[in-house]
Amino acid sequence: MKKKIVVLVLALTSAVFSVSARDILSLKNGSVIKGELIEATGEQVKFKTADGSLWVYGMSEVISVTKEKQAEETVAEETEAAPKKKKEFSKKGYRTQIEQTLEFGDFVAFGYDAIFGYQFNSHLQLGGGIGLRAFSDEVRGDGFGVPLYADFKVNFLKTKVTPFFDLKAGSLITADPTFYFSTSVGVKIHFSKARALSISTGVAWAGCDYYDYYGYYIGDEYYYNEYYYDYTDCAFSFNINYQF
């Protein structure tokens, strides 16, 4: 009965696997021979080695016959089953950003910024920016200003698409320089470790100095008073940013 089982196993092994994979013959004396299984009967096994020699062994000498290809397939299956490492985006390195900004509210401004910084890890980025704003409002009139600020950005995730928070703090250089402060939240889409496109919206604050004059006559004499106002303007912002 035992010999019949061994013969059946040998026959199935030969039928399932192609001859392109080498057979491995294991004998009870400890020998392991690689080659090709030619024939397996209830009494004997015919086996051809790589040099073309044909050997005949009794079934009582044989432990098993396996295929060398089986081990390779097992390794391949284990490799496929192993979990793939999750890809992380925006790893550390120097970054340059070009940002288009529209601000509207107490003041209206449109312009572009260049931001230069360093990405410390997948989450934290710190740098500085300089830009140009074209203003149009009752107090500032139609003029230009230069925002100069420190920029702090946090990516919440390490994935290709991540929400982020951005904070800018510095000065707005005009005829009367004042402070500039902006916060925004948005979504960043990464194309590689460095390149990304982001869209965000938020709120911007800028100081404003305003002088007003009030004149009047007393008799033939003209008098006037000068009033100085120092206040903060607030505006909503919409930003499109390209990072590389």
pLDDT tens sequence across 20-33: 457 888 888 888 88
3-class state of residue 217 by DSSP = strand
Contact by Cβ (8 Å): 237, 184? yes
Tell me what the mean pLDDT of segment 226-235 comes to: 78
Predicted pLDDT at 34: 85
Cβ neighbours of residue 28 under 8 Å, at least 6 residues apart?
Answer: 60, 61, 62, 63
Distance separating alpha carbons of residues 167 and 182, to the nearest angstrom: 6
pLDDT tens sequence across 11-69: 445 444 444 457 888 888 888 888 888 888 878 888 888 888 888 888 888 888 887 75
Predicted pLDDT at 28: 87
Residue identified by tokens 């061994």 is 6
At residue 134 the predicted structure's pLDDT band, cuts being 50, 70 and 90, is very high
pLDDT surpasses 50 at 8: no
pLDDT tens sequence across 87-126: 667 788 999 999 999 999 988 999 999 999 999 998 999 9
**Closest Cα partner for 21 from 35, 10, 7, 9?**
35
pTM for the full model? 0.60
At residue 85 the predicted structure's pLDDT band, cuts being 50, 70 and 90, is low
Predicted pLDDT at 223: 73
Distance separating alpha carbons of residues 35 and 49, to the nearest angstrom: 4
Whether domain 93-243 has CATH 2.40.160.20: the reply is yes
Rounded to the nearest integer, the mean pLDDT of the chain is 82
Give domain 2-81's CATH architecture.
Roll (2.30)
Residue identified by tokens 């698409």 is 161
End-to-end CA distance of the chain: 73
Paired residues of 117 in beta bridges: 95, 127
Q: Domain spans of the chain?
A: 2-81, 93-243
